[in-house]
Structure 1
């Protein structure tokens, strides 16, 4: 049996300095995201979304980034899901991109807000038909007795919509995480990693600080 305490790897691929970091964190994210794509990492848009439940306990799951710009980072979900209920009570969330193949991580903290129905519809219509049906099938986060319930519901939705257009469910759509803090982490030898944190000052300008590893 492998002892996790014996698992070690030196991080030597790259460094991250204040001099070569871009002043705009969204531009820096775009640079690293494109490099993750070029490196053919598995699901480079996969990110860990962490929320807090009604008892103050953290809750994390992996979701997929579907859009980003200077306004924030967008993902989609069922608005009746556990994550959506937690966001409704406490919109403060965190995101983390684990680009371990490049010895990198990006952490984002901010507030989640619903995007417009128009924008949700635009993305929904771009999804494969099976994914559109899936949005109607699953009452996300509820307890079910077995998988056959999902398969029966899927068959029902196929009959209901036939070959016609599948409408956007009113319980499904996107959230945008508006960033307040973005940290870029680059692994370095001897565990002396580079960590640059972007945060906004009182006038909304981004400032960069180096954090101890």
Structure 2
């Protein structure tokens, strides 16, 4: 019965260690996904800035400021483009700002899980050593019980032989009459 409990404890501890390791790996994967999304947002922001610089260069090269109506139209188009770029950049910045706390939380949770997994591994190793010690103790106890069992079998055999000899002696003494306290009558009769 104790051997089964020890085996169950070892089994449960081992699987809990594996479960903690799997959870740590999942959290690490989530952190990596969050980091990848952050890099995409950063790349998008760099692309928007690069496009804005390129657009500004095109406008500076093509703008004909000698014609006021064309200049006004180009300024209005530039204003619309800058507004769109500003909106896109603000959305990208908001998305990145929204991802940063999640990445920090996931990173902290992943580090906690890695710490727990390490502690569980230590506990599992300790329990495994205890289980091995219990196994040795059980084997020693089993050897002792087997020895006692063998000795009891010998004792039972000797008691059986003694009872047989006592029956023979009682049968042989039955015809002899009782003589006070020295030789009692068979069956306790005087």
Larger % of helix: which? 2
- Larger relative CO (CA 8 A, sep 6+): 1 or 2? 2
TM over 0.5: no
Give the TM-score normalised by the residue count of structure 1.
Answer: 0.19
**Which one has a bigger Cα radius of gyration?**
2
Give the TM-score normalised by the residue count of structure 2.
Answer: 0.21
